[in-house]
Amino acid sequence: MLRRLALTAVVSLAALATAVPVSTASGSVSSGPVSSGSVSSGSVSSGSVPSAVPTTGPFAAARPSLGPLPLPVPPLPGFLDGGAGKGTGEANEVLTRLTVSVENTGVAGADGTFELECGPTGGSHPQGQAACDRLAEAGATRAGRQELFRPTPEGTMCTMIHGGDATARIVGTWEGRAVDTTASRRDGCEIARWNSLVPVLPDVR
């Protein structure tokens, strides 16, 4: 009986000695045989996938910080980008457009109704470019902008000089400002006004 028990113990020890232990990088697993469906602690589970981005250690600080994507910058409007976006609308409007009506000058070709446009120069005015240059010269100074089309103030002392029967009316816009004025040559003040508007008005001196 004792002999049989000793033989059984020897066979069991021999079977245990033939089992191969499984080791991993992090440590060794149990000394028993590895089952086909499970792995002991220290090994990677068959259902998980290791992360390619380190979460610990010296390289963890180098992980990219993913934030919201930057939005595209919209183009500047035309009034902030120096006019680069101009193409339609008010950017291309002619800011000076006048209708000049002249009568009783006694000068051939001077009487009539003429259209004047500036920026670019256009219309039927016989001296369009020179007239636009005169308007630009007056518009370059504050006094010119205030005085060019302003009528003679009431009560102004004017010399009693009759400069002829010519009359004129100018209606429209000048550099974006509304204009509606008349001119004549009935006295020294009106003659001076007329002459200041030449060549928008004809030179009848």
Give me the DSSP letters along 60-103: GGG-----PPPPPPPPPPTTTTTTTT--SGGGGS-SEEEEEEEE
Which residue would you say has higher pLDDT here, 116 or 119? 116
pLDDT tens for each residue of 141-197: 998 888 999 999 999 999 999 999 999 999 999 998 999 999 999 999 999 999 999
Is residue 23 predicted with pLDDT exceeding 80? no
Is residue 11 predicted with pLDDT exceeding 70? no
Strand partners, 114: 100
Kindly state the average pLDDT of the residues 73-102.
60
pTM for this model (two decimals):
0.55
If you ran DSSP here, which 8-state letter would residue 43 be given?
S
Is residue 55 predicted with pLDDT exceeding 90? no
Strand partners, 182: 169
Residues 6+ apart with CB under 8 A from 83: 91
* pLDDT of amino acid 88: 40
* pLDDT of amino acid 192: 96
Span of 10-14, 34-38, 128-132, 186-190 with lowest mean pLDDT: 34-38
* pLDDT of amino acid 95: 87
Mean pLDDT of the chain: 74
Question: What CATH superfamily is the domain 93-196?
Answer: Subtilisin inhibitor-like (3.30.350.10)
If you ran DSSP here, which 8-state letter would residue 122 be given?
B
- Per-residue pLDDT band for 40 (boundaries 50, 70, 90) equals very low
- Per-residue pLDDT band for 31 (boundaries 50, 70, 90) equals very low
Is residue 103 predicted with pLDDT exceeding 80? yes
